Structure 1
Amino acid sequence: MSKFRKIALITGGNKGIGFELSKQLAEKNFQVLLGSRNRDRGQKAVSSLQKLGIESSFVELDVDNPESIENTVKDIQDTYGRLDVLINNAGVYLDEGLKLSEEDPTILEKTMRTNLLGPYHLIRSFLPLMEKNNYGRIINISSGYGQIDEMDDYGAGSYKLSKLALNGLTRILASEVSGNIKVNAVCPGWVRTDMGGPNASRSAEEAASSILWLAELEEDGPSGGFFRNGKRISW
């Protein structure tokens, strides 16, 4: 693999942590595919990177739409013949302080489609390509809210449940894959993004830096783990 420029797809790459991951990966000489469901926002993000002298390519990708995922997988396979790094970053936080038992069921359904089923379909679709090339680094952007101990605390029930399920998906798939393919989950911390708000303790740059190492794991690196700031944390 060393003679090739590695190819990385980041979902939700047009802003926040995703944008910073795109930037930092490109700076490390990855071929960055910046995924965004909104064409205008995605192209503006790519233009912003180009103004910084950073190369990337826009991929129109809606993780809620199986047809969009299918088209993306086909395009990447036809164009590059492989995908080395998949970062499932796109996510939603739709809870507004309501109890899970009282909120509109569509909130949970939308949250699970984006935060769980989107990553599931992407991983499932790209795994054959990674297995063919015997290389893959899959990173699921989770949250400390997905830790089992967090389930007892009030609020954000749909979001918590989606991240708990994403953590479970990480462990299941890590146990199923073989060869030089790593599947891990990571908590970026409380980050100043549209989701985290302006009072969060971490910048998007700091969060991206704490995730990036998982994209560069050596063959003897971990798989099936949950990490924060480079350290393993409890499920």
Structure 2
Amino acid sequence: MVKRVAVVTGANKGIGLAIVRNLCGNEFDGDVILTARDCDRGKAAVEALSGAGLNPIYHRLDITDAESVEELTGYLRDNYSGVDVLVNSAAIAYGYGTQTAVGEQASRTMGTNFYGTRRLCRRLLPIMRPNGRLVNLTSTYGVLTSITDDGLRRRFLAPDLSDEQLMALADEYVTDAREGRHVAKGWPKSTYIASKVFVTALTRVQQRQLDADGTDRRIVANAVNPGVVPTDLNGHRGHRSPDEGADAATYLALLPPHCDQPSGALVWWDRRVVDWA
């Protein structure tokens, strides 16, 4: 029998590392792949967990790099014939008071948090095995109320919103940010918040695609808000520990076979399903 495998992105520190720790020490009956862009930091994280009696495997992954994504895809296909769990924790954010132009912020933040996450999912979802679990980390502000324009909200809420239409919305947002008109058009002022609205929307689109793919794989995709956890990403602001932030994501990653609820949902840190609109 082929061994099961879980992949966690952006996992050398913070919430991603806590999710790896949970999966290794919890109920997941297979290998756990800890991925990170920086090899030294990724290997150091694996070594620290190994010292605690856990045994994750390191694999380099930069979700903004198509070649890096292909290398991981090939590794999973060759060694496991697929993947069972994918937790997308990799993300970037610009700090408060940054002097970086908002157009560059939008390009880079969306490039990792949305476009990069989508790129990886498009390669790994086709090889995800039956009862696979996809978990995308979003945020407290990754909700539709973060967008103030009714017309934009209606486009996100379209029941048949396609991946291509979502990409068009993302490209539109980045263009608006580059031209300095994103706030006037109803987009969030924060590029990080905008990126997480798109991650939540992506999850909903992915579940519809999975449900309509003509197979009976029963793959479940959910977006999870870990709450405000003090990490490098947010300047160490927050009151929840990484382990507390990892709880709901771990729960969703370990949903039992044939469980199809929640699916395509936005789940809060306390495991509550909330309305994203």
TM-score above 0.5, yes or no: yes
Q: Are positions 1:48 and 2:81 aligned together?
A: no
Matched residue, 2:265: 225
Q: Are positions 1:135 and 2:173 aligned together?
A: no
Contact 2:188–2:194 (8 Å) recurs in 1: no
How many matched pairs? 229
Structure 1 unmatched ranges of 5 or more: none
**Post-superposition offset of 1:78:** 0.3
- Which one-letter code corresponds to 1:211 in the other structure? A
Q: Give the SS at the match of 1:146.
A: coil
Report the Cα distance in structure 2 between the residues aligned to 1:187 and 1:97, rounded to whole angstroms.
24
Report the Cα distance in structure 1 between the residues aligned to 2:22 and 2:79, rounded to whole angstroms.
23
**Post-superposition offset of 1:96:** 3.4
Contact 1:96–1:156 (8 Å) recurs in 2: no
Matched residue, 2:232: 194
Structure 2 unmatched ranges of 5 or more: 149-182, 212-216
Report the Cα distance in structure 1 between the residues aligned to 2:37 and 2:188, rounded to whole angstroms.
28
Matched residue, 1:7: 5
Matched residue, 2:33: 33
- Which one-letter code corresponds to 1:231 in the other structure? R
**Post-superposition offset of 1:5:** 5.3
Report the Cα distance in structure 1 between the residues aligned to 2:96 and 2:189, rounded to whole angstroms.
7
Report the Cα distance in structure 1 between the residues aligned to 2:243 and 2:59, rounded to whole angstroms.
22
Q: What fraction of aligned residue pairs are identical, expressed as a percent?
A: 33
**Post-superposition offset of 1:209:** 1.4
**Post-superposition offset of 1:201:** 1.1
Report the Cα distance in structure 2 between the residues aligned to 1:14 and 1:211, rounded to whole angstroms.
16
- CA-atom RMSD in angstroms: 2.2
Matched residue, 1:160: 193
Q: Give the SS at the match of 1:144.
A: coil
- Which one-letter code corresponds to 2:120 in the other structure? L
Report the Cα distance in structure 1 between the residues aligned to 2:46 and 2:61, rounded to whole angstroms.
14
- Which one-letter code corresponds to 1:7 in the other structure? V
The normalised TM-score by structure 1 is 0.90
Q: Could you say which structure has the larger radius of gyration?
A: 2
